[in-house]
Chains A and B, each alone.
Chain A
């Protein structure tokens, strides 16, 4: 394999790993704050690594510039969206899960 193919495979493997971590966190964690905590960071990193693989496979050119711009805005907007959701949940008065009342929770 050429060095570029190795880089693409490594980036895609990292992206898939973080996307799976985000999905597991979204299903297993108990409340909205914990789920936002899981998805905002892991999902951003997974998407950014996958887009990095796309940019690496294109090589230098105009398409790469577009993908890098997309990657940059993904980095900016994804955590901000998670912040907006958790902030709205806090303004609505949703209590964070502390594990005191629910013994059946994992």
Chain B
């Protein structure tokens, strides 16, 4: 007990637990696949971009809890979450304004059928769900790192 108290008192490095690391290694790819599954099922059943994005963002949270938050932040970098949010936002706007440019309303997917895309309405919804999932995953990851950095003060994202 005195050992752990000393470790906390001097703020030493995080010591990983082999049990948590092994479980995260096994479970992580399944969680990622399940997030994509939920994301792509938003069009015709329960699920969608928001729920799937949160599940994909949870993968990063699990990595941070298992391998240490500082290590995960160094590995992911501070730019990747912001880049994901920007990419998703651009894809969403591209889909929405593209239909306006083709002469229909905002996010009116059926007009993409004129370009030769089969089932344009269905694939349009899927694409927008994927974009929303990117945004949500980036926001969850960025919020996690921002909250984890909050106790030390000053540092952002």
Q: Is the interface of B mostly helix, strand, loop or mixed?
A: helix
B5 contacts across to A, CB distance below 8 A: 93
Q: Is the CB of A84 within 8 A of B4?
A: no
Whole-angstrom CA separation of A95 from B65 in the bound complex: 23
- Judge whether B30 and A84 touch: CB under 8 Å: no
A interface footprint on B39-69 (CB within 8 Å = 1, 0 otherwise) = 0000000000000000000000000010000
Closest partner residue, chain B, to A69 (CB atom): B30
Min CB gap B77→A, angstroms: 25
Q: Mark B1-36, 1 if CB is under 8 A from A, else 0.
A: 100110110000000010110010011001000000
B17 & A87 in contact (Cβ 8 Å cutoff): yes
| Interchain nearest-CB distance for A62 vs B (Å) | 13
- Decide: A76 near B27, CB < 8 A? Known: A91-B4, A91-B8, A93-B8: yes
Interface: A60 (CB within 8 A): no
The answer to whether A91 touches B23, judged by C-beta atoms less than 8 angstroms apart, is no
Q: B1–A95 contact, CB under 8 A?
A: yes
Q: How far is the CA of A83 from the CA of B24 in the complex (A)?
A: 13
Q: Which residues of B contact A95 (CB under 8 A)?
A: 1
Is there contact, CB below 8 Å, between B30 and A73? yes
- Chain B: minimal CB distance from A96 (Å): 9
Q: Mark A49-80, 1 if CB is under 8 A from B, else 0.
A: 00000000000000000000000010011001
Residue in A87, A90, A91, A95 with the greatest tally of chain B CB atoms within 10 Å? A91
Interface flags, B104-134, vs A, CB<8A=1, else 0? 0000000000000000000000000000000
Which residues of A does B touch, CB under 8 Å? 73, 76-77, 80, 83-84, 87, 90-93, 95
